[in-house]
Amino acid sequence: MYYEINSELSLFAATATVRVATPQAIKEASAIIKRGGLVAFPTETVYGLGADALNAIAVARIFEVKNRPRFDPLIVHISDPSSIAMLTSSIDEKAERLIEKFFPGPLTLVLPKSEIVPEIVTAGLPTVAIRMPSHPVALALIKRAERPIAAPSANLFGYLSPTTPVHVKEQIGERVEMILDGGRSPIGIESTVVEIAGEDAFILRYGGLTVDEIVEIIGEVKISTSNRRRPHSPGQLPRHYSPRTTIRILKYKEREEILEGKRKRAGLLAFRRPEEKEDYAAVEVLSPDGDLKEAAANLFACLHRLDKAMLDIIYAEPVPEVGLGSAIMDRLYRAEGCNKSKSKSKNKSKSKTKLGSMLLPLILIIIFTLALTLTLTPEAGAVAKSSGNGVLYADADAGADASLLLITEIYANTATRNERDEYVAITNPTANPVNIEGWSITDTEGRMIFPFFEVVPGQTIYVTRNASAFVALWSTSTARTGEAIIPDFEYGTDSDPEVTQMQRDERAFALRNTGDEVILLDKSGRKVDIVVYGDSEYECESGEWRDEPLKKPGDGMIFIRKGLQDTNQCNDWLILPIGASYHTPEKFFSSGDGDAIA
């Protein structure tokens, strides 16, 4: 089954009000949450963008406002540990010990989800991420709203996390109803994410709680923070927490060489206060005395200031990867664009062997080790290493799997004449770029071929019949992101020289209103993804679409995949009105004479 949303909902354009978090402001903010709106609020880690976690339509607005890919799950925030039972299907003994010790606090637990949690919150995963913040404003808001609140960081997706209300307003201030001002977030870095899976506990994201603190409570944990083809928690994509300015992490011996080159408009993110004034256009210091707790609290604020300084590049000094330093370096590695937070065993052998004499034994050892580690890690392809202190490190295989590219949106029955604004969206949920040169999209009647193009991790590309009509469509729809959306390809009339025209193979591709099939083919002609809707009579082969076709769309209705859910059935999809508000409708009553506008 898939969900159909009321197509008569009105357009929504939000202008945020920044309010000091008084009891009255919190009361008003809770009312916004209850009616399906969005509120940015402070936590001890970073500011969050909150919506009713049990309202799928409200949660959908989070993804639209942030321009966040739907395969990236959200964290559900609660105000009392008793709420966990409602959100999960089971809680084991390790989870209970962590809850008792660290709730409230900067810890997120990933647990088996209950049926009450909408799949859009979990990105179709069978688990849900739960956190109880310690910030008094966050707790008061959740308690007053009388429901759990789903909240990622209150920023545009992939950009620097906000630690002040000013950061929020600068990025999404025109897209949310209220920003609660609770001052600066004291920890300043996101929560640590821990997944409990059977007997094992995995660190999925470094954060405000150190690994050693967790090990002290539950014993051995495994580290699995590397790039995943499909994120199990927020913050696992290879590029994240990024300033708009290019950032590069300095190697210890590079600093003098860079200064000698006299690069103009370079900024420095220093761990400690520099001993001498150096030739940088701007310098921000994380902690004058080298305190990691202070450095974590200042990280995003310093990066925000450097990003506003009109620099060509930001150089970042590395910090020690111990305690909170692991979380700081994780953010810097992802900001730089690749997750170099490789697991390092603290018990590395210092012995060396000569390759020539040890080649065969070495190969046998590697094969044995790879076979053994498949039983030690959360997913195939991960390698576990012991640190000797109760921590196992697991490096997930980040190789790109092109078979995971997904069709994520289909707009066939448009609300305009000639339907030139029809489109298909395709998302890359892998951890690596995928070159789609020679790939094609077909409805079995016509086929359009892609030129050279790399779809980067997390990117959604838009393939439309007419680029100018597509831009006009989204320029009148503020419910999505509030910004113009430019398509990547067009397959009809060449309406925009800036948008790449696809090559037609014999007949043209077009989406029929009454029903059709949309098939993504790789260069070899293999079917990568397929979606069937309406009165399509396409005969699917084994492993393809496994359900009756999606219901024929009404005028102006769009099919949207629920996160990365991919069972090849109708339940993978929502159907939404194009350009409508994602608010749930509100009913109100009036009496007497007079006119009303709502």
Structural domain spans, the chain: 14-223, 247-336, 402-577
pLDDT at 365: 37
pLDDT of 251 above 80: no
Secondary structure (3-state) at 422: coil
Whether 247-336 shares its CATH topology with 402-577 is answered no
How many CB atoms are located within 10 Å of the residue 216 CB?
Answer: 11
| 103 token code pair | 């709730």
Nearest to residue 328, comparing CAs of 278, 270, 376? 270
Task: Give, rounded to a whole angstrom, the gap between the first and last alpha carbons of the chain.
Answer: 32
Nearest to residue 479, comparing CAs of 53, 65, 8? 65
| 349 token code pair | 């052998």
Peptide bond into 104 cis (omega under 30): yes
pLDDT at 397: 38
Per-residue confidence band for 476, with pLDDT thresholds at 50, 70 and 90: low
Q: How many CA atoms lie within 13 A of 390 on its CB side?
A: 12
pLDDT digits (tens, 9 = 90+) for 100-119: 999 999 999 999 999 999 98
pLDDT of 258 above 50: yes
Tell me the whole-structure pTM to 2 decimals: 0.58
pLDDT of 516 above 70: yes
pLDDT at 572: 85
pLDDT of 86 above 90: yes
Architecture field, domain 402-577: Sandwich (2.60)
pLDDT of 385 above 70: no
pLDDT at 182: 94
Amino acid letter, residue 259: L
Instruction: For the domain covering 14-223, report its CATH number.
Output: 3.90.870.10
pLDDT at 390: 63
pLDDT digits (tens, 9 = 90+) for 421-432: 899 999 988 777
pLDDT of 256 above 60: no
pLDDT at 187: 95
Per-residue confidence band for 241, with pLDDT thresholds at 50, 70 and 90: low
| 212 token code pair | 């050693």
Amino acid letter, residue 388: G
Per-residue confidence band for 571, with pLDDT thresholds at 50, 70 and 90: confident
List the single range of 161-170, 247-256, 279-288, 458-467 with lowest mean pLDDT: 247-256
Instruction: For the domain covering 247-336, report its CATH number.
Output: 3.40.50.11030
pLDDT of 212 above 50: yes
Per-residue confidence band for 210, with pLDDT thresholds at 50, 70 and 90: very high
pLDDT of 297 above 80: yes
| DSSP E strand boundaries for 184-228 | 192-197, 200-205, 221-223
**Of 137-146, 374-383, 545-554, highest mean pLDDT:** 137-146
Spatial distance between the Cα atoms of 242 and 335, rounded to a whole number of angstroms = 4
DSSP state of 477: -
pLDDT at 578: 66
Spatial distance between the Cα atoms of 360 and 592, rounded to a whole number of angstroms = 91
Per-residue confidence band for 252, with pLDDT thresholds at 50, 70 and 90: low
DSSP state of 10: P
pLDDT at 366: 38
Going edge to edge, which strands form the sheet with 423-427? 3-4, 573-577, 557-561, 406-411, 423-427, 460-464, 489-490, 500-501
HEC string of 338-375? Answer: CCCCCCCCCCCCCCCCCHHHHHHHHHHHHHHHHHHHCC
pLDDT at 342: 35
Contacts of 187 (CB under 8 A, 6+ apart): 44, 45, 106, 208, 296, 297
pLDDT of 398 above 50: no
